Amino acid sequence: MSFTGVVSGETAITARGPLRAAAERVLGRLWIDEVPVRLASEDPALWPSARTAGAEGRALCWPSQPGPGRAALGRAEELRGGARADGLTEVVLLGHGAPARAAELIVAAHRLAADDADGDPGLPIVPLTVLDGPEPGPLLRLADDPERLGRALIVVTGDDPASDALRQVLEGLLRDGLGLPPAEAARRFVTVAEPRAAAAKHAAEAGHPLIEAPAPTAFGALSPYALVPAALAGADVPALLDGATAVLPSLTRPENNPGLVLGAILGGAVRAGRRTAVLGGYPAALPGLARWVALLLEETAGGRLTPVVQDGGLPLRPADDLFLVTFDGRPRQDDATVTGPLAAQLVVWEYAAAVAAYLMELDPLAPRHGAAPLSLDDGAGAPLLTDGAPGRAVEAFTTVPELMAAPDLPALMGALAARIGAGEHLAIVAYLDPDEADGQGAQVRRLAALLAARSRRPVTVDWDAGHPAIWNDHRDGGVYLMVTGNVVRDVPVPGRHHRLGMLQLARALGDARDARAAGRPVVRLHLQDRRAGLARLLGSAREGD
C-alpha cells in the first residue's frame, strides 16, 4: 500500500521520503499483529499494565476512549448549571500531565470557535486556569484577587501530591480569606478520581461533588479528567464527543486507518534512528495543540522519542535523527503532516501514540513513577561557582567532569552547549513560574532558543512537574539543565510544616538527584533572584560563541 496520503473524513495524514519508507516497513507487522482490532477491544494482552489492572478489577483510561467521558457528561452539566447559578465563572484545574493540557486545549479551541461564530455562540466559555505544580506565583495571583477567587470553581483531578497541597491551600483561602462556611466552600470543589483513590476518599469526607473515572493514564483527552473541567468551563463537549465518535470506525480498519499510519510514522521513525520529532506549523484555531501532543508523546514514549515544540524562534539544523511533523503543513515538503479538526486530532494522536509505543515495545498504560522523595540535597555538593552579587547571584551545581572546570557562568554555558552531542538534546526543566507575562516563561523560552542556536541541537522545555524521561528505564539522550529559584512570597500549606516554595525546591532537588543516579548529565542553576538571574543566564548564553 502506498500512503503518501491517508484521508478519513476530515482527517489527513501524509508522509514523504525516508519517513514514509520507515513507516511502510512496520505497517505489515501492525496488520499481522491485529493491533487495530486489539486496541479497539481494549485487549489486556497488549500491555502488562492492562493485564494487572484487569486482574485487580480496575479500569484504565485507554486511548481514544470516549465512553467514560460521555458517561460523566450529565453530572458535569448539572454541576455547571449550579456553579453558574452561584456566580462561579472561572474554572481552576488542579491537575497535571497530558489530560490537564487537553482540557486547556479544548477550552481554548471552543473559545475561539465561539468568538468566530455567527449568530448564537452557545454557552458562554469561561476562563480555565491549570495549576499543575507547587510554584506559588499562579496561586498568589489568584489569592491576591478576592473577586476572582470568589468566582472560582476548583476541579481536582488525580492524586498528585502537589495537586493535593494546592487543594489544601485553596480550601484555607476560601475558609479564612473569604470567610465561606464549610458547606458553601465544599460546593466550590469538584473532584474527578478513581473510586479507590485518596482524592475520592477526601471528596467524600469533605462533601465535594465526586465524578468517578478510570485510573488515569496519559490517554485522558476524552476521559473525565479532561472533559469534566472543559464542560464546566462551557465547552461544547457533546459536539466534541460526537466528532470523536465519528472518527472511531476508521481506527478499526487495517488499511486507510489514520491513527495506525501516524503511529507507524512515529514508531517507524524511531526504529530507523530518527528519535526527535519536531512539531511545527500548528493551526491558529487549535492553540496549545503542539504542547499537548508533545506531553502525550513524552509520557508514552519512555524517552525513546523526543518531541520538540518549535516555537518562539527555536532554531534547528537538519540532522539524520530529526523529523518534522507539521499540523496543516506542506505535504510535499515536510516529513509528515497531520490535518483535522480538534476531535479528530485528539483521537488520532492518542491512538498513534499507543501504536508507536507498541512498535517500541513500551507499555504506555504504565503509571508514571511518583515524584522523587522530598530532599534538600541534590547530590551535587557545594556550588561549582557563584556568579553575581549576593542576593542576585546564580549558583551552579554539577558533577559532570567536563563541566566542572568552567571558571565562570559564560564558560559553563558554552561547555554545556558543547556537551550536547549528535543524537542528543538539551532538556531544560524549570522550577519557576511559567506565565509569559507575570512569570519567567518568556525568559526561559528565549534561553532555550539561544542554547538551541548555540548547540545546533534540539532543546525541550518542561515546567515544574518533572520531566517524564527522568524516571524511565531507557536512556533518552538528554542533557539536563534544571533551573530553580528563590521565591519572594511563599505560601504555607495548612496543617503541614512546609510551604509551596519549599515543596517545589525539594522536588526539584529530588529530581536532579534521581537524574544523576540514572546516569544522566545534569547541571542545576539556582537563581537567588529569578528575574536578575535569568537576565544573567541570557547574557551568558550569548557570550563566547
- φ and ψ at residue 360, rounded to 5 degrees: -90, 5
Residue 177 is given by DSSP the state: I
Q: In this structure, how many other beta carbons lie within 10 angstroms of the beta carbon of residue 442?
A: 14
Considering the segment(s) 67-241 as one domain, its CATH architecture is 3-Layer(aba) Sandwich (3.40)
322-327: strand order across its sheet: 5-8, 11-15, 336-339, 322-327, 276-280, 306-309
- At residue 74, the 3 state secondary structure works out as helix
Cα atoms in the Cβ-side hemisphere of radius 13 Å centred on 41: 10
8 Å CB contact between 88 and 151: yes
The model's pTM? 0.94
Kind and range of the H or E element at 91?
strand 90-94
8 Å CB contact between 507 and 373: no
Q: Does the domain made of 6-29+266-359 have the CATH classification 1.20.120?
A: no
Residue 515 is given by DSSP the state: H
User: The domain 385-542: what is its CATH number?
Assistant: 3.40.50.10490
19's grid cell? 519517513
Q: Do domains 6-29+266-359 and 385-542 have the same CATH topology?
A: yes
Per-residue pLDDT of the chain (545 residues; tens, 9 = 90+): 445 678 888 899 999 999 999 999 999 999 999 999 999 999 999 999 999 999 999 999 999 999 999 999 999 999 999 999 999 999 999 998 999 999 999 999 999 988 876 655 567 899 999 998 899 999 999 999 999 999 999 999 977 888 899 999 999 999 998 999 999 999 999 999 999 999 999 999 999 999 999 999 999 999 999 999 999 999 999 999 999 999 999 998 878 899 999 999 999 999 999 999 999 887 788 989 999 999 999 999 988 999 999 875 666 777 899 999 999 888 788 899 999 999 999 999 999 999 999 999 999 998 865 555 666 778 888 999 999 999 999 999 999 998 999 999 999 999 999 999 888 999 999 999 999 999 999 999 999 999 999 999 999 999 985 555 554 545 567 889 999 999 999 999 988 888 999 999 998 998 888 888 888 899 999 999 999 999 999 999 998 55
8 Å CB contact between 101 and 295: yes
Domain ranges (residues) in the chain: 6-29+266-359, 67-241, 385-542
316's grid cell? 534547528
Kind and range of the H or E element at 263?
helix 258-271
The residues near 421 (Cβ < 8 Å, ≥ 6 apart) are none
Per-position b or e across 389-405, b if 16+ CB within 10 A of its CB: eeebbbbbbbebeebee
